[in-house]
A and B are shown apart, each in its own frame.
Chain A
Amino acid sequence: MAKRPAALALSLAVPAGLLVAWFLATSLGGVKTYQLASPGDVARELGALWSNGLLWRHLAASIERVLLGFGVALAFSIVLASLVGLSRPIEAALDPTLQAIRSIPSLAWVPLLLLWLGIGESAKVTLIAIGAFFPIYVNLVSGIRNVDRKLVEVGQVLGLGRFELARRVVLPAALPSLLVGARIGLTQAWLFLVAAELLASTRGLGFMLTEGQQIARTDEILTAIVLLALCGKLSESIMRAIESRLLHWTDGLPA
């Protein structure tokens, strides 16, 4: 615990250094502001977005899409990974197909999703869900497969049936893998959000990026990038907090 302020200072040193470098690069005239907006420009842009309400409008749109897509992915992946992880026949039936789908590059889905679902919210949420699904699925299946056989035997000598064994031993034991998968899946959701919003959207952080590019406003682009970095880091921290809360029983090093 005594190390924490030092660790915090260290973790802030690199962003601070980057900020200084950015400031120097733009203020000393080395980089033209139409190529790279200065930190001051970005701060002014943020202030303007804050006062005209657009900041929250863009942020809220993106956060809503990420949470919806992530939620759908979480639900589907838990169900499918449990089935595949617990049953060899279901694995044989489903896993090769899912692995093949997993290897499709994310953007290949976009034309199809636009045709099927139009340019509305559902296409975006679906794309994000596809992106977040696989890390959760893959981690949970392998977590279920690697549950300590010795714990399973405890259930067996107590005469638990397959369903009870899954519910009371295997799935709780696989919780750490689920949470690792969910953390990666949430990061992936932000990634796919930008892909989804770069096409056909009127609000959101991805829209800010496209709009900034079209009207050659690097301050708007950089503002969106900074916001994406903050959102990504924040959701990662939230997931880690959830992990350490739910996994206080593990004996290993903290994640």
Chain B
Amino acid sequence: MRHAIEIDGLSKHYGPRAVLERFELFVEPGETLAILGASGCGKSTLLRCIAGLVRPDAGTIAVRDELGFVFQEPRLLPWLTVERNVAFAARSDVERARVKDVLELVGLTPAAHLLPKQLSGGMAQRAALARTLVRNPKILLLDEPLSALDALLRLELQTSLAQIVRETGSTAVLVTHDVQEALYLADRIVVLDGAPARGVLELDVPVPLRRSRTADLTDERIALLAALGIEGRVPRRSHRGLRVVAR
């Protein structure tokens, strides 16, 4: 099976600082991959390279399908209503006709005519998600999309996000520093340490644990959390090269 995203030999330097150095990553079609790491490890740069927002110094990025990008902040255009912000991304009549559907999907139909300044943080991020979804992209790049939200709202939106990814059958790459979020949303987790970014740990999330909350802490999950560093810390360097595949 061809990969949805293939990254090979990717390098990016900011001045003398190497953020990415001959980095390699493959994303399978339909999977949700979480890239987990502390701030500054290069995970956001990686995502921005894939989206074309950052021009890498070297390497190839092959993307098989249309991309949608969700930023950490909603980044709505403040002069447009929610509905027109979503319609902003539409390129054709077909996509414009989808605006109402995606607003319904993210639960914002009643807020369609509000301006961004009238929205709560969670509503604004839902609107941003709807703007991305209106093009029906097959690959979603999510750059810490929920980390600016408070804890309860984050849980709620994680649930919506999991549901939306499943319903649309998208491939998703989620960049996060939240271990719980990665475990909840992802099929596969790559832990990065930087800089330059390197994968220090990769694991497949066991099927029974996917989309399940930590409330049901099984021995398996406890072992995984321990391996990942439960507070979102990147595993110690002694883990480098370790590959845990828990089944």
Give me the interface of A with B, judged by CB distance under 8 Å: 150-151, 153-154, 156-158, 168-169, 172-173, 175, 248-251
Can you show 5 pairs from A to B with CB atoms below 8 A apart? Answer: A153-B71, A156-B52, A156-B53, A168-B88, A249-B116
A173 to B76, CA, bound (A): 12
Q: Are A249 and B53 in contact (CB under 8 A)?
A: no
A172 to B77, CA, bound (A): 9
Complex interface: chain B residues within 8 A of A150 (CB): 71, 73, 75
The reply on B117 being an interface residue by CB < 8 A is yes
Beta-carbon nearest neighbor of B116 in chain A? A249
A158 to B87, CA, bound (A): 12
Top 6 nearest A-B pairs by Cβ distance?
A: A157-B69, A251-B117, A249-B79, A154-B75, A249-B115, A249-B78
Within 8 A of A (CB), among B92-134: 115-117
Known A172-B77, A172-B79; contact A154-B117, beta-carbon cutoff 8 A? no
Q: Are A153 and B77 in contact (CB under 8 A)?
A: no
The reply on B165 being an interface residue by CB < 8 A is no
**A150, A153, A158, A173 — most chain B CB neighbours (10 Å):** A158
A153 to B132, CA, bound (A): 13
Beta-carbon nearest neighbor of B68 in chain A? A157
A168 to B115, CA, bound (A): 17
Within 8 A of A (CB), among B45-101: 51-53, 67, 69, 71, 73, 75, 77-80, 88-89
**A156, A157, A248, A249 — most chain B CB neighbours (10 Å):** A157
Q: Are B79 and A157 in contact (CB under 8 A)?
A: no
Beta-carbon nearest neighbor of A247 in chain B? B79
Complex interface: chain B residues within 8 A of A168 (CB): 88
